[in-house]
């Protein structure tokens, strides 16, 4: 097992950031850790890395408690990237390589083109590519990636995910957090956190399960949207398609008829985003 966290808790004074959270990552699989800001994802990651104490429960990495030894076998990309802004691209890579006691390999072509420039002078996309390159330098057995694609363009996100899959295919375990829910489809399994707790886990199909939404197609879609909002229903837009999650088609139809809006109403499977909203509503905030 690459990661085995069992019923772990982390408190900061009276505030509980992580409560009774369990998570496993096996070699060769990609586990997506998903949740809103403040859900406890980064705190859990820091406990796995040994950067935060575990108040209750147990964490093992490669079958051992987190330590400098286990850290040497994993690659970590934090939200803040962990780069030295005043050093050059090449100097950052060389520093990380020296820390792991290895020779720095050649930079990828895109990074070689800016190798002598300070990190603070290159774009965010290249900075993220450099941080990911540094995380892979020592050929880790486990990758822990905290928002690795945040703020970069879709093509750069796609390239990074190609590399993540290459690592998993080679037997590396991957734990990744993301705010881009479409990236959840790239994961072997998902673990959804809310208010410090695990509230759902499994494949995308497992989590969505039987959750449904109602799709509303109306010639006057803006009127349909306004009518459903006025009725207090949880409405979202997908282009000009109005969607309502967690209520029956009959309830949606009744709200539209009451407002005098003509529309076709169809029950459809919920999206992951809609499912997360529904799950979050059901979660009681711990006292």
Q: What is the pLDDT of residue 286?
A: 56
What CATH number is given to the structural domain containing 222?
Answer: 3.30.70.100
Is residue 35 in some structural domain? yes
Same domain, 224 and 180: no
Task: State the pLDDT at residue 25.
Answer: 95
- Answer with the one of 155, 171, 205 that is the final residue of a domain: 205
The answer to whether position 233 is within a domain reads yes
Both 57 and 156 in a single domain? yes
Q: Is residue 196 situated within a structural domain?
A: yes
Same domain, 261 and 129: no
pLDDT tens digit string along 2-29? 999 999 999 999 999 999 999 999 999 9
Q: What pLDDT is stored for residue 282 in this prediction?
A: 67
Residue 180 counted as domain residue: yes
Q: Are residues 137 and 251 in the same domain?
A: no
- Among 157, 175, 205, the domain-final residue is 205
Mean pLDDT score, 203-230: 87
User: How do residues 95-130 score in pLDDT, each as one tens digit?
Assistant: 999 888 888 888 888 898 888 999 988 888 889 889
146 in the same domain as 15: yes
Q: Does residue 149 form part of some domain? A: yes
pLDDT in tens, 31-75: 999 888 888 999 999 999 999 899 999 999 999 999 888 988 999
278 lies in a domain?
no
pLDDT value for 168: 95
Is 142 in the same domain as 265?
no
- Is residue 284 in some structural domain? no
Same domain, 107 and 241: no
Of the residues 205, 234, 254, which one is the last residue of a structural domain?
Answer: 205
Average pLDDT value for residue range 135-153:
87
**Claim to verify: residue 89 and residue 222 sit in the same structural domain:** no
pLDDT digits (tens, 9 = 90+) for 80-90: 888 889 999 99
For 226-271, the pLDDT digits (tens) are 989 988 888 888 888 899 888 889 889 899 988 888 888 888 888 8
Residue 285: inside a domain? no
For 130, the domain range is: 3-205
Q: Is the pLDDT of residue 166 over 90?
A: yes
Two tokens at 264? Answer: 């076709």
pLDDT at 151 over 80: no
Q: Are residues 223 and 123 in the same domain?
A: no
Confidence of residue 211 (pLDDT cuts 50, 70, 90): confident
174 and 221 assigned to the same domain:
no
Using pLDDT thresholds of 50, 70 and 90, give the confidence band for residue 284: low
Statement to judge: residues 199 and 234 lie in one domain: no
Asked whether residue 179 carries a pLDDT value surpassing 80, the answer given is no
At 287, the pLDDT band (50, 70, 90 cuts) reads low
Is pTM beyond 0.85? Reply is: no
Q: Which CATH number goes with the domain that contains 87?
A: 3.40.50.300
84 in the same domain as 39 = yes
What is the number of structural domains in the chain? Answer: 2
Q: In angstroms, rounded to a whole number, what is the distance separating the alpha carbons of residues 99 and 115?
A: 19
The single residue listed with the structure tokens 């859990």 is 44
């Amino acid at each position: 097992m690459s990661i085995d966290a069992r019923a772990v808790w982390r408190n900061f004074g009276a505030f509980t950031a992580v409560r009774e959270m369990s998570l496993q990552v096996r070699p060769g699989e990609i586990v997506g850790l998903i949740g809103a800001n403040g859900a406890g994802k980064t705190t859990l990651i820091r406990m796995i890395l040994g950067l935060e104490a575990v108040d209750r429960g147990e964490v093992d990495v490669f079958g051992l408690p987190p330590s400098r030894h286990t850290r040497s076998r994993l690659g970590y990309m934090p939200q803040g990237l962990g780069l030295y802004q005043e050093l050059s691209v090449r100097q950052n890579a060389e520093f990380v390589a020296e820390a792991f006691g290895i020779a720095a390999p050649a930079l990828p072509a895109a990074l070689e083109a800016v190798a002598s420039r300070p990190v603070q002078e290159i774009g965010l996309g290249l900075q993220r590519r450099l941080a990911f390159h540094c995380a892979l330098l020592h050929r880790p057995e486990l990758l822990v990636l905290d928002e690795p694609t945040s703020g970069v363009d879709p093509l750069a996100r796609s390239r990074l995910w190609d590399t993540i899959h290459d690592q998993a295919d080679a037997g590396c375990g991957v734990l990744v957090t993301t705010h881009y829910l479409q990236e959840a489809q790239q994961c072997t399994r998902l673990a959804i956190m809310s208010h410090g707790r695990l509230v759902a886990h499994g494949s995308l199909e497992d989590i969505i399960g039987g959750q449904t939404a109602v799709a509303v197609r109306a010639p006057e879609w803006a009127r349909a949207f306004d009518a459903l909002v006025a009725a207090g229903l949880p409405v979202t837009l997908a282009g000009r398609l109005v969607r309502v999650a967690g209520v029956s088609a009959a309830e949606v139809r009744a709200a539209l008829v009451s407002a005098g809006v003509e529309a076709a109403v169809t029950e459809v499977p919920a999206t992951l985003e809609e499912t997360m909203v529904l799950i979050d509503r059901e979660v009681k905030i711990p006292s």
